[in-house]
Amino acid sequence: MNVLVTGGGGFIGGHIAEAVARRGHDVTVLDNFEPYYDLGIKERNVEAARTAADESGATYDLVEGSITDEPLVDDLVADADVVYHQAAQAGVRKSVEQPQKVNEYNVDGTMNLLEAARDHDLKRVVLASSSSVYGKPEYLPYDEAHPTNPVSPYGVSKLASEQYARVYNEIYGLPTVALRYFTVYGPRMRPNMAMTNFVSRCLHGEPPVIYGDGTQTRDFTYIDDIVGVNEQLLTDDSADGEILNVGSTDNIDIRTLAEVVRDEIDPSLEIEYGDPREGDAEHTHADISKANDVLGYEPTVDIREGVSKFIAWYRDNREWYDPLVRSS
């Protein structure tokens, strides 16, 4: 198949592009290479996916451009069988600073994609949503019926985009699936995340810094589990029209996460605390029973195993990855 991955230079999009190319599918990546973090990480994502395509005999085409470029999006969608829509202005805190920009990329850009998909014969559009749509919990874990009251412009933009995808399925019959990701981590992850910062600081003999009191909780979902469910949707139509949580069964508070990272690298380090970050949710915790019922989804990597895998990968790739993390 011909597969289009928007945001395919990023962390999750890059891993999806690599996995799909390894299976022998022709991949086109659209990414605007905005320097939200050091672009050296995106260059490695591109390199990994291009290598996978070369090894499998598939093609890999990189298009530098924006999801907001309507004619470009239409041209790329016209040649695709399946679209993985991962492009977005990421970052809760960034969205607090620049809400209009987040809306332009995440909502208007998604509309460009859905309109193009409506005009062409696609097998499926798989859209990346986020646990940020839930906001303040009325109960935990969140199931898909939980009220959506996002506490950041980023969360609002993701809620709008997934609801547009649902409506395009209901009104126009466009096969769409929206996946609500819960704190994805793993090799080549973004540098400005709690886990990346904890590992980087500890490897440099610096105490991990927690913003807030550390009682905030998160589901941390290993990238392999995210990639697996996306790969399944290449050919599986059982989730068409659905919105699904894709998380882990592990819920951990940030203080414990910092301790797990610290204890594996340098138990002598103290933990420091800073002011809480505006727009961050206090708690996220996924009920994945719907994804399990519909797709048989089961996470395979628990948080302690995942932390060890990420630290080992970080050490193996420290020469190139660490400077990019430290500069971001």
Q: What is the pLDDT of residues 26-53, one digit of tens each?
A: 999 999 998 888 899 999 999 999 999 9
Residue 92 scores a pLDDT above 90:
no
For the chain, percent of residues with pLDDT exceeding 90 = 89
Of 19 and 249, the structure prediction assigns the larger pLDDT to 19
Residue 223 scores a pLDDT above 80:
yes
Residue 278 scores a pLDDT above 80:
no
Question: What Rg, from alpha-carbon coordinates, does the chain have?
Answer: 19
Contacting residues for 317 by C-beta, under 8 A, at least 6 apart? 187
CATH 3.90.25.10 for the 194-218+249-284+301-327 domain, yes or no = yes
CA dist., res. 233 & res. 81, Å (int)? 12
Residues of the chain with CATH 3.90.25.10: 194-218+249-284+301-327
Confidence at residue 49, expressed as pLDDT on a 0 to 100 scale: 98
Give the tokens for residue 128.
Answer: 């990346």
CATH superfamily of 2-185+222-246: NAD(P)-binding Rossmann-like Domain (3.40.50.720)
Confidence at residue 207, expressed as pLDDT on a 0 to 100 scale: 96
Mean predicted lDDT score pLDDT of the chain: 95
Residue that the structure tokens 């059982």 belong to: 238
Q: Which of 92, 172, 174, 171 is nearest to 127 (CA)?
A: 174
Contact 281, 132 (CB under 8 A): yes
CA dist., res. 321 & res. 328, Å (int)? 11
Confidence at residue 327, expressed as pLDDT on a 0 to 100 scale: 86
Q: Which residue type, as a one-letter code, is found at position 42?
A: K
Confidence of residue 4 (pLDDT cuts 50, 70, 90): very high
Confidence at residue 37, expressed as pLDDT on a 0 to 100 scale: 83
Confidence of residue 283 (pLDDT cuts 50, 70, 90): confident
Confidence of residue 80 (pLDDT cuts 50, 70, 90): very high
Identify the sign of the CA torsion 303, 307, 309, 310.
positive
Cis peptide before 137 (omega within 30 of 0): no
For the chain, percent of residues with pLDDT exceeding 70 = 100
Beta strand segments in the chain, E = 2-6, 26-31, 60-64, 82-85, 124-130, 176-181, 184-185, 209-211, 217-219, 221-222, 243-246, 251-253, 272-274
CA dist., res. 141 & res. 143, Å (int)? 6
Q: Could you list the active site residues?
A: 154
User: CA angle at residue 11 from 8 to 16, to 5 degrees?
Assistant: 55
Confidence at residue 284, expressed as pLDDT on a 0 to 100 scale: 87
Q: Residue 15: which H helix or E strand, with range? A: helix 11-22
Confidence of residue 169 (pLDDT cuts 50, 70, 90): very high
Q: Which of 72, 61, 48 is nearest to 5 (CA)?
A: 61
Confidence of residue 163 (pLDDT cuts 50, 70, 90): very high
Confidence at residue 38, expressed as pLDDT on a 0 to 100 scale: 84
Confidence at residue 282, expressed as pLDDT on a 0 to 100 scale: 83
Residues of the chain with CATH 3.40.50.720: 2-185+222-246
**72-94: burial string, b at 16+ Cβ within 10 Å, e else:** bbbebbeebbbbbbbbbbbbbeb
